[in-house]
Amino acid sequence: MKQLKTFLLENNQGMSVEIMNYGARITSILFPVNGKSTEMTVGYASSEDYLTDDFYFGVTCGRVCNRIEQGKFELNGVYYQITQNDGEQSLHGGLDNFSTRFWQVNSSTKSSVTLSIESLDGDQGFPGKLNLQVTYQLTDNNQIEIDYFATTDAPTPINITNHAYFNLGEGNGQLLDVKIAASSMLERKDNGVPSGKLLPVENTDFDFRQLTNIGERQENTTDINIQEMACFDHCFVLDNTDITKPKAELVSKNNKVKMTVLTNQPAVQFYTGVALSGEFSAYQGVCLESQDYSNAVNIDHFPNTILTPDAEYNRKIIYQFDSL
């Protein structure tokens, strides 16, 4: 039987990150607040509880994160059906996705760990054998660098993200301020899948180009879509993919902590955690999931997400923590 393993990454600034081999996930980020090591994410107290996790806490999502409409797509004249686990949609890779598996540990040091997984041809209905590797590294600049690398032996869709829920030491993610460098977003249908239209955020409640309090925006919205959903769960198109440019920020004014997201991915899914329940509460954490456009495999004019045998998949996400 495979065993849960955790790896503690530490730097010389008093910050630490815990990585688990089940789901290749982040289970803890501790950052100093007023000299006290403080948890920045939402998660379970017991490692074993992650084996029955329904919320994707900190996981590596794949083969395709977010949603594939009706779990169907056509590739090179062949139609594929992926397992459906979100109504009629396929969410984060289907029923037995990468978050529900033990990953192989390739290497680990005091500051980094590399994990990998092999996904065989036909896995959840996807074509081709995919080899995916993720490296987490904690730097002395208080950056968590996440590097994804993948190859395939046949054309296949791929879209990998991290699904950590952040609260920056607050009891409720609604207390945080957010900023997203996005002038447009993907129009969202009732089933959670993009329609294919890009909508400008200007003069709407989806405009987060300036630092905005999440709770106030959500509670005072006049947008019918947000009111009906009682949350944000939308894909924002980033204004640029320069890895050195901040793509999003989360700020806790109470704890005087800022988290900056940097990525070379073209979009970010902003989710305010309405579905958290049980020992957790709705809105306890906020997700900023850097990724390619959702459902791109079914929308021709979206950027291509098909990996071919003659190419390599390389994506990077950085979570930068700073005291204010």
Residues with catalytic roles: 163, 289
Residues 6+ apart with CB under 8 A from 109: none
Q: In degrees rounded to 5, what are phi and psi of residue 229?
A: -80, -25
Strand ranges, E, within 57-183 = 60-61, 67-68, 72-75, 78-81, 90-91, 104-108, 112-119, 130-138, 143-152, 156-157, 161-162, 177-180
**How far is residue 31's CA from residue 159's CA, in Å, rounded to a whole number?**
29
Q: Are 261 and 178 in contact (CB under 8 A)?
A: no
Residue 220: count of CB within 10 angstroms of its CB: 9
Q: Are 180 and 268 in contact (CB under 8 A)?
A: yes
Q: In degrees rounded to 5, what are phi and psi of residue 181?
A: -80, 70
